[in-house]
Structure 1
């Protein structure tokens, strides 16, 4: 199949190269802004909390300039209405069959064909919720871990420049080391 035809309906942002940027103090404010906006949109669907997670939530850590957020919901029963509602605010739904992560519902906020935020919508009680917070909090309090993670991320961004899944998977060993030590 002709490659141009194969990717015809796939958005540009789906194939963005991995680009690690220097830490930006504005990420914290952007995280607060996105978190508050999402809470205002999603509270009508029973979302009680939205958290800023990921590298942009950790001071002094280089990162992809994408604000990662997670929100918890009782069930995915209203996902179609949530998708419809979030689409009004530039959020694009990546269904589980494309995302490959059945434990979450994943959304990408896009501006000018670039990812600006990710939303990991999880059901209450999902074990990854606490792991995300634990990882973030450990790095927030340990400059040595931040330095080590920055080095790993930089190397992996070069190695997996056009392979987001490979990049994410390659970070797993470090993340597990932080979580379980």
Structure 2
């Protein structure tokens, strides 16, 4: 039997290189289209609140061309039923033991063999929900921070091209600084 926890058994999209694309003004429209589809697919699970987060939600910011969405789910108990709705449309569930983040349930939508959309499901009251929104909203108001973050992301993507986790971890200090400033 194949062990899905072993990297040699992961699909190609799970280890794709970190690539930063120029800002795309269509990212928000793409996010809204995905949200509309997800609302219809997941309405029976009382999942109604969705947010476009991450770098693609910040106008003018270069980013990995992956739309990040966040939605509030009442319980983790419905993941198998949610999978029945999402899997036929190219969504892949990344279980917490692989994701390494107990506070969320993580889904990746794959198109043409590459990550296209991430869905972060979080329960009500999760602190990271507010942090995601706050970070996005601060950058939307501060072009100077967008510029600084763009430079940092490009540098870190070059340094960590084959290691998505290291790339993400290396951005943490900047993110925390923005959140601490509470701009």
Q: Is the partner of 2:9 in helix, strand or coil?
A: coil
**Distance across 1 between alignment mates of 2:7 and 2:124:** 35
Match of 2:57? Answer: 57
**Distance across 2 between alignment mates of 1:96 and 1:8:** 18
TM-score (norm 2): 0.93
Q: Is the partner of 1:47 in helix, strand or coil?
A: coil
**Distance across 1 between alignment mates of 2:84 and 2:128:** 25
**Distance across 2 between alignment mates of 1:113 and 1:7:** 17
Which structure 1 residue ranges, 5 or more long, are not aligned?
A: 1-5
Match of 2:47? Answer: 47
What is the CA-CA distance between 1:7 and the residue it aligns to?
A: 5.4
Q: How do 1:37-116 and structure 2 match up within 5 A? A: 37-116=37-116
Match of 2:129? Answer: 129
Match of 1:171? Answer: 171
**Distance across 2 between alignment mates of 1:19 and 1:43:** 33
Which structure 2 residue ranges, 5 or more long, are not aligned?
A: 1-5
Q: Is the partner of 2:75 in helix, strand or coil?
A: coil
* Structure 1 residues 46-95: Cα deviation after superposition (integer angstroms, max 9, x where no partner): 11211100000000000000000000011111111112211021100000
What is the CA-CA distance between 1:8 and the residue it aligns to?
A: 5.3
Cα distance change of structure 1 residues 161 and 24 upon mapping to structure 2, 3 Å threshold: same
Match of 2:3? Answer: none
Q: Is the partner of 2:89 in helix, strand or coil?
A: coil
TM-score (norm 1): 0.94
Cα distance change of structure 1 residues 8 and 100 upon mapping to structure 2, 3 Å threshold: closer
* Structure 1 residues 146-172: Cα deviation after superposition (integer angstroms, max 9, x where no partner): 000000000000011010110000000
The answer to whether residue 170 in structure 2 is matched with residue 161 in structure 1 is no
The count of aligned residue pairs is: 176
CA RMSD of the aligned region, Å? 1.0
